[in-house]
Chains A and B, each alone.
Chain A
């Protein structure tokens, strides 16, 4: 008979581990890696920030965030469904291909019980995550805070970002 082993959830350790993700892509397939990792980091008790810049802005722009797309163009890892056969690159730019590929990917994601991008960000914010928007991207696109999700903490410039990320682990996606 032995004493119970008590798992170490790291509660007693004073950690200043901070996780920052730069989301720079607006393609559906490139939105998810950041969301999944941010969600996992929060679930491990890390202070987590997401910084949206350039095409990643579409993830937090109210009029665009539900409409991210996936295109097989230029993606040589695109296979025919359920097979190892590569989809010929010449077919990728065909009309309707992006819509079809987007629909298929959205279904695969939904089948796993993984939320759509805006719902995923709701969950990340509920778990304590912070969302930041890039000043230059906002200015380039003539977007203001009213165009963005209401829970975006702010539009910040490059210096603010450098200041904010002191000591953080940064991942650029």
Chain B
């Protein structure tokens, strides 16, 4: 696994650039990851990202956009506005969790 320095922290990442260690994540890392993909974090973005991390911690897998809507309470339309085009992957990348593996 390669390592990288993000926001001054040395972290482990996979070959796509996703963080691989849940506990190495921090808010300043997330802000830099978001910047890397052109997402400017607003309070609402942070709500989604923090919910996604909480849910991952509880369930051991990354929520799909469906679950982010039904359980997290963030409407599908809003997810696409906050994280354009590929919300599921972008949310996971910023939250430091793996890409969701569910289909829906």
Residues of A participating in the B interface, judged by any CB pair closer than 8 Å: 1-7, 9-11, 36, 39-40, 43-45, 112-115, 120, 123, 126-128
A5 & B10 in contact (Cβ 8 Å cutoff): no
Q: Could you tell me the dominant secondary structure of chain A's interface residues?
A: loop
Q: A1-B5, A4-B13, A126-B80 are in contact. List 16 more A-B contacts (CB 8 A).
A: A4-B17, A4-B32, A5-B17, A6-B37, A7-B93, A9-B37, A9-B85, A9-B90, A36-B104, A39-B104, A43-B87, A44-B86, A45-B84, A113-B104, A123-B69, A126-B77
Count A/B pairs, Cβ under 8 Å.
82
B104 & A127 in contact (Cβ 8 Å cutoff): no
Tell me the nearest residue of chain A to B18, going by C-beta.
A7
> Which range holds the interface residue count of chain B?
35 or more
How distant is B50 from chain A, measured CB to nearest CB, in Å?
A: 21
Question: Given the known A-B contacts A1-B3, A43-B87, are A7 and B104 also in contact in the complex, defined by CB atoms under 8 Å?
Answer: no
Chain A residues contacting B64 (CB-CB under 8 Å) are 113
